[in-house]
Structure 1
Amino acid sequence: MVNVILVDFRGMDTLFESSVLGIAGLGVYTMIKLRLKQKNQSSEVNDHE
């Protein structure tokens, strides 16, 4: 009985860790994409001047 509870807990812990890593990865991807978008917009403004 205790083993089943421990295995279940470890499985849920691993699932939550994977979720946190996935959310962190999405955050990093979003920040990089926004940074590139800002650079492209600023270079377009400089090209028109």
Structure 2
Amino acid sequence: VGSVMTNKYSEGYPGARYYGGNEYIDMAETLCQKRALEAFGLDPAKWG
């Protein structure tokens, strides 16, 4: 079972992917990073 999110090749970092068309993947990854930092009380300057 797959989805658009799992079937999309998105190597690299948000905003700096090797292939285009990853805007929604970038938004989801950035949101996950933000929430993980908040959940564990981490400083984005050190861990972001």
Structure number with bigger Rg: 1
Of Structure 1 and Structure 2, the greater strand share is in 2
Higher relative contact order (CA 8 A, sep 6+): 2
